[in-house]
Amino acid sequence: MKPHVSHLYRVAYRLTNQAEAAEDLLQDVMLHFYPKCQELKQIENLKSWLSRSLYNRFIDNLRKNKRNPITEAADDSALSVVVDHGLVPEHETEQELMQTRIEQSLDKLNDDQRHVVMLHDMEGYTLTELSDIMGTPVGTLKSRLHRARCSIRQTLAMEPSETLMRVKG
Amino acid sequence: MNCKIVLSELDDFLDAELKPMQHAQVQSHLSQCDSCHQAWQQELEFRQLLKEHTVPAPALGLEERAFAKIPKQAKKTNKNAFVAGFSGAIAAGVVLMIAAALFFNPVVQTPVANITLALHQSKKVKMVFDVPEAVAEATFSMRLPEHVEIAGSRGLHQIEWKTALKKGKNLLSLPIVANAAEVGELIAEIKYADQIKRFRMKLDIKATEQGMLKITMPGVA
């Protein structure tokens, strides 16, 4: 399981958008499956399989937490202090700005759209893998992905080329 | 295949979701049609932007923490006694912070100076290692004076473990607790290949009237 820890953390962070919550989710999966290590060796695509387990646990937690309006704030105070130290190269600043803009555009999506675009376009899962992970037909995922990308483009003011709009219109 | 069909299939083309024959037809059209080629390039750039979106690097020691809740008897590896202490780190507060650029920049920034904590009450030491490039395997160690220990691990004054460092900021949070009002020194080292970075922190621990200890971190060497 160790080789998958970093990747699973990234997926967990994509889903929860919070470092502490991501670690909790990751720990939860590790705790559950570690005693079954020998069985896991038989699984062909362990990365995808563990991702599905993590996703299912995330959804379960989400359903439970919807009943509880109180959420814990992340402690980012340490990192915000660090940001004030040192010089940041110009290209990194631009990159960070783009990161922020993309995050803002992701915030405008619904959960389903956000998850599929993050796991497909950012983490590189195929639609077939995602269909297995999320338990959703490929066609549905395609529609969500299409709508998500359109929304992100709009937020980033990156409309498709005039040609594309003219032909589609 | 005309432009309308090609553009409507562009998503599937880029997602490798087309059948081989359709894929070849779209590819052939893109090589002949400037406007569709431009739309395809624009879409590629957009996808690249999304692909480059990253999540913040996890705090140092993710792997150790990921397995920290697993009962010890179930573990075949990771016999490091540090895990138990570190897993409890989440709950405490901030004691000090160091920001250091490792390996590629010899300059160590001056840390925060004065920190106060109550006797026998754990608080977190936070260290941020800012690395310009990812490091696959680094060894981190920390030594505490006899009267200061890792919170939750009675008598543990020294820890060492291997870890990977992500590019950028890596946060280590470690709870410590002082058991006596004596002067001491905290030494933290991070090793990579043949390079060593050492931090020395003078701990000036004094009991106050309210039973508080004041720990002063005058600098690092």
How far is it, in rounded angstroms, from Cα B1 to Cα B34? 14
Using CB atoms within 10 Å of the CB of residue A68, give its burial: 0 to 12 exposed, 13 to 18 middle, 19+ buried: exposed
- Chain A nearest-CA distance from B67, in A, is 6
- Residues in A closer than 8 angstroms to B52, CB to CB, are 95, 98
Contact A161 B126 (CB under 8 A): no
Of the partner residues B3, B51, B77, the one whose CB lies closest to the CB of residue A167 = B3
DSSP secondary structure of B6-29: HHHTHHHHHTT-S-HHHHHHHHHH
- Residues in A closer than 8 angstroms to B47, CB to CB, are 121
- N-to-C CA span, chain B: 69
Tokens of B97: 């912070």
Contact A27 B171 (CB under 8 A): no
- Is this prediction's ipTM beyond 0.90? no
Question: Average pLDDT of A19-46?
Answer: 81
Provide the mean pLDDT of chain A: 76
Round the CA-based radius of gyration of chain B to a whole number and report it. Answer: 26
Residue that wins the pLDDT comparison between A77 and B153? B153
Q: Does residue B126 have a pLDDT over 90?
A: no
pTM of the model: 0.53
**Which pLDDT does position A138 carry in this prediction?**
94
Of the partner residues B10, B39, B128, the one whose CB lies closest to the CB of residue A82 = B128
Name the pLDDT band for B209 (thresholds 50, 70, 90). very low
Of the partner residues B39, B49, B67, the one whose CB lies closest to the CB of residue A164 = B39
Tokens of A134: 């999320």
Tokens of B172: 């280590």
A64 touches A149 (CB < 8 A): no
Number of alpha carbons in the 13 Å side-chain half-sphere of residue B9: 20
- Chain B nearest-CA distance from A35, in A, is 6
* Residue with tokens 């490792």, as numbered in its chain: B102
**Which pLDDT does position A46 carry in this prediction?**
82
Number of alpha carbons in the 13 Å side-chain half-sphere of residue B137: 4
Question: Average pLDDT of B154-181?
Answer: 72
